[in-house]
């Protein structure tokens, strides 16, 4: 055993035992009462500096197939890695085209079941279970929710199953608000949708930007991440990001507006400047064009 008497104290600096702890249980909206493992996974999603997140979503193939810009995900993702925080993918693409040493948190798409060849894309089930999510060491699982559709109850059951499993193992769930052809896209709808998903127990929600979006944020007790949607001109996409962040969103989850941009890496950089540094859409667009 070491030659050390309990009454002796080695020379050296003492720990400042009377100094206030530099520790905050959780800075993430709504997560104060979660267990350590759940908080740790959530913390890997949101930047410690800004509290926000830039997600690059390339899970579209499960429903749409290889859309332009995402034919080769391995090539498409590489230019983005310096500018995004999180990658959102299916397990098939994750295992085949995403390197495990990217250093990025992963959101795993876990619901699927219909494609664009179907008249009703809202018929989904849980296709990737919690065991596979844990094997892949992801930070979060994502489940699509089709409120207002004929399959509303089934999609809420999918969400509930994922949340129950997630609470058992400390795995956050991203509830994804789906907007079908017949669904309204108003603040009234998005207030209802995000609140229902939060009340079910989702830790993060992906939704769409709309007029009066601050009322959607204000009535939801967990972070909202805004979807990019269909491809629009780069300046317009950056304005959407700035408007959403100005209303209290905690980040964006964009796919086509990054991958289908003329310069995807620089587009991701411009989006990150808005989300993390608070620059305006005008300044972000200048950053995009100057570096392109």
Active site residues: 206
Phi then psi dihedrals of residue 207, to 5 deg: -140, -170
Dist. CA 54–CA 270, nearest whole Å = 11
Q: Measuring CA to CA, which residue among 219, 217, 221 is closest to residue 243?
A: 217
To which H or E segment does residue 106 belong? strand 105-109
Handedness of CA 250, 255, 261, 264 (dihedral sign): positive
Instruction: Label residue 51 exposed, middle or buried (CB < 10 Å: 0-12, 13-18, 19+).
Output: middle
Beta-carbon contacts of 80 under 8 Å, excluding residues fewer than 6 positions away, are 56, 258, 264, 265, 268
Residues in the chain: 292
- CB neighbour list of residue 224: distance below 8 Å, 6 or more residues apart: 194, 204, 205, 206, 207, 216, 217, 248, 249, 250
Q: Mark out the alpha helices in the chain (DSSP H runs).
A: 36-45, 61-64, 73-77, 91-97, 130-135, 152-169, 187-200, 213-218, 234-246, 256-259, 264-277, 281-291
Half-sphere exposure of 124 (CA within 13 A, CB side): 29
């Amino acid at each position: 055993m070491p030659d050390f008497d309990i009454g002796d104290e080695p020379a050296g600096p003492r720990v400042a035992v009377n100094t206030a702890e530099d520790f905050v249980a959780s800075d993430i909206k709504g997560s104060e009462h979660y267990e350590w493992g759940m908080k740790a996974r959530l913390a890997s999603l949101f930047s410690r500096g800004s509290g926000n997140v830039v997600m690059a979503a390339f899970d579209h193939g499960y429903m749409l197939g290889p859309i332009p810009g995402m034919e080769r995900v391995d090539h498409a993702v590489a230019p983005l890695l310096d500018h995004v925080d999180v990658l959102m993918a299916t397990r098939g693409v994750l295992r085949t085209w995403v390197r495990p040493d990217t250093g990025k948190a992963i959101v795993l798409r876990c619901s699927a079941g219909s494609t664009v060849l179907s008249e009703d894309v809202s018929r989904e089930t849980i296709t990737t279970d919690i065991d596979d999510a844990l094997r892949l060491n992801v930070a979060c699982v994502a489940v699509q929710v089709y409120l207002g559709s004929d399959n509303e109850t089934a999609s809420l059951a999918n969400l509930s199953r994922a949340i129950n499993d997630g609470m058992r193992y400390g795995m956050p769930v991203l509830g994804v608000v789906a907007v079908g052809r017949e669904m309204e896209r108003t603040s009234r709808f998005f207030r209802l949708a995000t609140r229902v998903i939060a009340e079910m127990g989702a830790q993060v929600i992906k939704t769409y930007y709309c007029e009066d979006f601050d009322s959607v944020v204000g009535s939801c007790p967990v972070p909202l991440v805004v979807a990019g949607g269909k491809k629009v001109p780069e300046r317009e996409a950056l304005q959407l990001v700035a408007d959403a962040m100005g209303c209290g969103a905690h980040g964006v989850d964009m796919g086509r507006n990054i991958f289908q941009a003329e310069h995807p890496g620089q587009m991701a950089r411009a989006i990150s400047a808005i989300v993390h540094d608070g620059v305006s859409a005008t300044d972000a667009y200048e950053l995009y064009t100057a570096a392109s």
